[in-house]
Amino acid sequence: MVIDAKSALETGEMTIQGRLVDASNATLLAKVDDGGDGISCIYKPIAGERPLWDFPHGTLAYREYAAYLISSEAHFEVVPFTLLRNGPYGEGAVQHWIDIDESIDLFELFKMDLPELRKMALFDAVINNTDRKIGHLLPTQDGRIMGCDHGVTFHSDDKLRTVLWQWAGEKLTAQEISLLSNLQELLSADLGSRLDDLLSQGEVRELRRRIATLIDTASFPLPNPAWPSVPWPPF
C-alpha cells in the first residue's frame, strides 16, 4: 500500500542515494519507503554538521525544523515539509525534495519584484536568515517559490544576510502586518513552547522582538551596516 508523502517521511525506511558535494555540512539525498517508488528527501544528520564560530554546535537541524514550523504554522508556506527524525547516521533534519522548474533562470528570478519573493524576504527577516542565497530559491513547476537551507537562522544578533533586498525600507501591507500579528499570537501559544525545545531562550526572545519591531515600524528592515548584507558567494 502506498502511503502519503508526509507519513512516509516520518516513518519510512530511509536509503541514502548520494551526497550534495557543494554543501559545507553533510547534506544527503535519500529516499524513504512509501510502499511505491519512494519519496525523495534531503537528510542532514546532526553528526555531519561542521562547527561554526557563531552558532552552537549541533543545532542546525533544529533551526531547519524551527524555520519550517514558522513557515507552516503562520502560513508563510515557503519551506518544504521538514521534520526531525533518525536516519542511517542518527538524528537530523529531513526535508521533502522539491523538483524545481528548470526553465526559470534563478539569476533573473531573484531580482524580480514578485509577491512570492516578497513573502520570502519577510520570512527571512522574521527568522533572521544569515544565508539566503540565489541557489536557495526553489521555483516550483506549479508557480510557487519555496526556499531551502535554513540552518543558520534565529541568531540573537542582527545577522540578516540575503540576496532579497528589493523591499528594504518599504512599508508593510496590512496583510503582511496581519500575518506577523497572527505569528505573535501563535508564539504565545503552542508554537512558542515547541520553539522553546529547539532554540535558546535568548533566541526565542529575540525572535519575538524582531516580530514586534517589524509590526511597530511597519516596514521591511534595512541592512545592518556592521554585518555583510549579502552572502558570499551569492549563489
Domain residue limits, the chain = 5-217
Alpha-carbon distance 16 to 6, whole Å?
A: 18
Written as nine digits, the cell of 160 is 540578516
Angle between helices 115-127 and 60-73 (to 10 degrees): 130
Yes or no: say if 38 and 96 are a contact pair by the CB < 8 Å rule: no
Give residue 20's pLDDT.
85
Cell numbers 515547541 correspond to what residue?
Answer: 194
The beta-strand segments (E) located in 21-144 are 28-32, 39-45, 82-87, 90-96, 137-139
The radius of gyration of the chain's CA atoms, rounded to the nearest angstrom, is 17
Written as nine digits, the cell of 81 is 515539509
| DSSP code, position 112 | S
Instruction: Determine the length of the chain.
Output: 235
Contacts of 161 (CB under 8 A, 6+ apart): 129, 130, 131, 132, 227, 228, 229, 230, 231
Alpha-carbon distance 66 to 83, whole Å?
A: 9
> Which residue ranges of the chain lie beneath pLDDT 70?
1-2
DSSP lists the bridge partners of residue 138 as: 146
Give residue 137's pLDDT.
98
Cell numbers 516520518 correspond to what residue?
Answer: 10
Q: For residue 110, give the nearest of 139, 71, 131 by alpha carbon.
A: 139
Cell numbers 517521511 correspond to what residue?
Answer: 9
Evaluate whether the domain defined by 5-217 bears CATH number 1.10.510: yes
The arrangement of strands across the sheet holding 28-32 comes to 14-19, 28-32, 39-45, 90-96, 82-87
Yes or no: say if 24 and 50 are a contact pair by the CB < 8 Å rule: yes
Q: Is 31 helix (H, G, I), strand (E, B) or coil?
A: strand
Q: Which helix (H) or strand (E) holds 217?
A: helix 201-217
